[in-house]
Amino acid sequence: MLQNLPEFSAPPAILARTMAALDRQPLPLHHIQPWAKWPLSARVLFLTLGMATMGLPVFELQALMPELSASAIHLLAPVKSGFACFWNAVCALGGAGGLALGQMSRAWIYAGIAIVAVAWIACIGFGTIFARLVSPRAGRNL
């Protein structure tokens, strides 16, 4: 029954206005764009205000209530020692790796660098292929 009805279309004036509105590009909004594409003045203002917002309470706390600041530092001492322990372990492993590299021949070092480079290139390639396969934009698929 519905198949017998004629094709319905919008009036030409509405169709032209709708298509013109769709063709217009909206102005880029800074809160939608990546931060690196913001204007330089907006980035500098954002960083300045962000650092002031985060730093001012810390400095005020130390100036107004030094005993509270000292107790906070005392409470954070175990966390600091945990980070120090982790950093010492990383430095020890780095030193051991440096000594191991010093004992290896250049052929093994170059082979290791080549393996890492091939794996990195494979990851980039497969990532690009998978990103293009799942991309919803037309024309981006393989």
Q: What is the model's pTM?
A: 0.34
CB 46 within 8 A of CB 38: yes
Q: Which residues contact 25 (CB under 8 A, 6 or more apart)?
A: none
Gap between the Cα atoms of 6 and 115, Å rounded: 66
Residue 107 lies in a domain: yes
Residue 94 lies in a domain: no
- The pLDDT tens digits for 100-130 are 888 988 899 899 999 999 999 999 999 888 8
| Domain extent for 61 | 36-73
81 pLDDT tier (thresholds 50, 70, 90): confident
CB 69 within 8 A of CB 61: yes
Residue 5 lies in a domain: no
Interior angle at CA 42, CA 36 and CA 47, nearest 5: 80
Residue 81 lies in a domain: no
Residue 21 lies in a domain: no
Interior angle at CA 60, CA 68 and CA 70, nearest 5: 25
- The pLDDT tens digits for 20-76 are 887 887 766 656 777 788 889 989 999 999 888 888 777 777 777 777 767 777 777
Residue 19 lies in a domain: no
Q: How many domains does the chain have?
A: 2
Residue 84 lies in a domain: no
Residue 47 lies in a domain: yes
